[in-house]
Amino acid sequence: MTMTENGVREVIIIGGGPAGYTAALYAARANLRPLVIEGFNWGGQLMITSDVENYPGYPEGIMGPEMMQDFRRQAERFGADFVTDDVTKVDFSEQPFRVSVEDHEYLGETVIVATGASARQLGLDSEQKLQGRGMSYCATCDAAFFPNKHVVVVGGGDSAMEEATFLSRFASKVTVVHRRDEFRASQIMLDRARGNDKIEWITNAVVDEVLGDTRVTGLRLRNVSTGETWEIEADGVFAAIGHDPNTRLFLDQLDHDEAGYLVTKPGSTETNFPGVFAVGDVVDHIYRQAVTAAGSGCMGALDAERFLAAREGHLMAAEAAPRA
């Protein structure tokens, strides 16, 4: 049996990262009493980041999880409600929109999708253990923690080339580890990295284990042709093997690009369904920063607010119009 919550929410926000919580903050302050279905593992990618030093307003830096708690508390303070669970189904085919968490259904006049993207992981237990302790997925965020150190970048695409080049400004040595000897990266990015004498290359190799107890100390690599394994020392590891948008629930209803990122109307956060908005990394595969996601969350809330106000205006005009 499906249980439908009494009443229709003006705004339902799906996702609990910087974009979702900022949308919640703005919607709550506009008296729209948003419901945030934040996910069982709320907080998003910042939960696996240690120090955040590039979010404006925190001159001393802040731990990623602590920052997400602050974002959440700020939205709560103005009246946002939270469901700490994962959405299992959405139906945008008619108003009000339906958002389900298992057999519990929530109705919303607007929905803001802020489910983010996830950095692809190598899939190793040792990787999980050392996340935020030298195991990173974002050079822009963490490169400055490795001055004069040796770091490894895993991957052979544009992200890996970009991260390796960026890291070389801080680290004394950067080793790119790639599983083939051909690169997916564009020629220009590859050439730039190849021309950088701080960058070394290990090809036809994959990571078998990230080494270290409390911090990364190295890697065990395996040659994919010969099966030979060996260890190298490293102070940090950056996996740059791509991101996946968290859009599985929406692909049959919302417009998206080939990689699955949602597509919004130019200059707006509105999707192909009027009243359904998409914000943050679920639409953005270029900037992917907490601050850009937060800004986009704010835009989504303002767009939802305007959508509701315009509809209210139409309803009032319809009610006031003389009947024939």
Catalytic residues: 138, 141-142
Residue type, 267: G
Q: Smallest distance from the beta carbon of 16 to ligand NAP, in angstroms?
A: 24
The length of the chain in residues reads 324
Minimum Å distance from CB 244 to ligand NAP? 10
Q: Characterise 280 by phi-psi region: left (phi > 0), alpha (psi -120 to 50), beta (else).
A: left
Is-contact 295 288, C-beta < 8 A?
A: no
Question: Could you tell me which residues come within 8 angstroms of residue 182 by beta carbon, excluding any fewer than 6 positions away?
Answer: 156
Residues that bind ligand NAP (CB under 6 A): 120, 122, 154-160, 162, 179-180, 184, 206, 241-242, 285
Buried b (16+ CB within 10 A) or exposed e, 92-131: beeebbbbbbeeeebbbbbbbbbbbbbbeebebebbeebb
Q: Which residues contact 287 (CB under 8 A, 6 or more apart)?
A: none
CA dist 306 and 269 (Å) reads 12
With respect to ligand NAP, which residue has the nearer C-beta, 111 or 207?
207
SS3 state of residue 86: coil
